[in-house]
Amino acid sequence: MGKKTTLKDIAEEVGVSAASVSMILNGKDLSRFTPETVERVLGCAKRCQYAPPSSRNRLKEIAVISPSVNNAYHTTIIMGIDRAALASGYLAHVYNTYWNPHVELQILNMLAKQRVSGIIYLMNPLQKERACEIDRQIPVVAVGDIVSDLGINTVDVNNFKSGEMVAEYLIGLGHRHIAYLTTSLNEHHISRVRRCEGLRSAYARLCPLGSVTVYCKDNSYEQEIRSAEIELDSGRALAQECVQNPKITGIVAINDMVGYGVLDGLLEKGYRVPEDYSLCGFDNAFPSAFHRIGLTTVDHSTEEHGASAFHLLKDRMENRSEKPAAYPITRLEYRSRLIIRDSTGAPRRTET
């Protein structure tokens, strides 16, 4: 067996001190070194398969940045990541931002110092510039909506097409006037915006005399972290607002979790689903298949998204280029599909 590479070996090859090599490999005070020196040290360590003595018998570590674990969609992605990561000798640590860009920045800066092997986002980064900057040293992959200028490897969901798919189905059932019930709708939540745009695009094209009315409940960062039932509560409140409009016969919830809250809100008011209101969601969270729920929804192959995100990350981690700027950007997209269950049907008779 050959002699193990030491810090001194790397230092002699690169032409810097062993202390400098140690600092660079541990991500400490990188501003003291030129980008060229950092790349030469990292490249040499990679070629020589160097690992610190304290870490040679440990699982390699990656970080998963999640907006929250309140939603089964995100936890299902994590399951896919974990399954693939553990099979390859990696351990995933989950960090929640609760959609707070300041918390996200703190997490990114901490991870840059810790020098984890890689980072997976479960949404489009809110701190895009910082994420792209870190990607030059630590591979980053995002699972989110299609954004052409994101600048990192992605596993994409085409939420615009998903919205169109739901709208086309409801139009086919005869629903002329529908409601879109969503939590905070802004530039931080591009998937929510794109689903709405898809719904409206299909109605403008196929049912121009119809309408898509948006009901939105804005939740603060403090509310997101304080309540595990924030999406259920939001759906229940939005349903009670929505039923004040007598034209609406179909309701589309931003995701299945909000959809469960909508279902509760409708039942509490004495309405039947689908006899009085058809109800659709997105994400195909596992409770949606329960017989007492039976929610029509859009499936995104969520667990496979997580596994694919890890494999994209693994390719970068284990085949690091000494010129990261030249590394190609990979975008992987799964086709979403509509899952029809008992929560949708023909519209009730209503005023036009």
Answer whether residue 352 shows pLDDT above 50: no
pLDDT of residue 57: 44
Mean pLDDT on 117-143: 93
* Better pLDDT: 252 or 35: 252
pLDDT number for residue 72: 87
Report if residue 26 sits inside a domain: yes
Residue 39 lies in a domain: yes
Regarding predicted confidence, which is higher, 19 or 23? 19
pLDDT of residue 1: 41
- The whole-angstrom separation of Cα 260 and Cα 235 is 7
3-state secondary structure 128-151: HHHHHHHHCCCCEEEEEECCCCCC
In a domain, 274, yes or no: yes
Work out the mean pLDDT of the chain and round it to a whole number. 88
Give bridge partners of residue 91 from the DSSP assignment: 61
Residue 345 lies in a domain: no
Q: Are residues 264 and 316 in the same domain?
A: no
Same domain? 144 vs 196? no
Q: Would you say residue 205 lies in a domain?
A: yes
Tens of pLDDT, residue by residue over 174-232, are: 999 999 999 988 877 889 999 999 999 999 999 999 999 999 998 777 776 677 788 99
Q: Let me know if 120 is exposed, middle or buried by CB neighbors in 10 A (0-12, 13-18, 19+).
A: buried
Question: Quick one: 288 and 316 in the same domain?
Answer: no
pLDDT at 54 > cutoff 60: no
Do residues 128 and 194 make contact, with C-beta atoms less than 8 angstroms apart? no
Smallest CA-to-CA distance from 124 within 98, 155, 90, 95 is with: 155
In this structure, the answer to whether residues 148 and 31 fall within a common structural domain is no
Residue range 60-74, pLDDT digits in tens = 899 999 998 888 899
Cα gap 104→92, rounded to integer Å: 17
Domain with 244 in it: 159-300
248 and 325 together in one domain: no
Is residue 2 a part of any domain in this protein? no
The answer to whether residue 52 sits within a structural domain is no
Give the chain's domain count: 3
pTM of the predicted model, to two decimals? 0.78
User: Is 350 among the domain residues?
Assistant: no
Q: Would you say residue 161 has pLDDT above 80?
A: yes
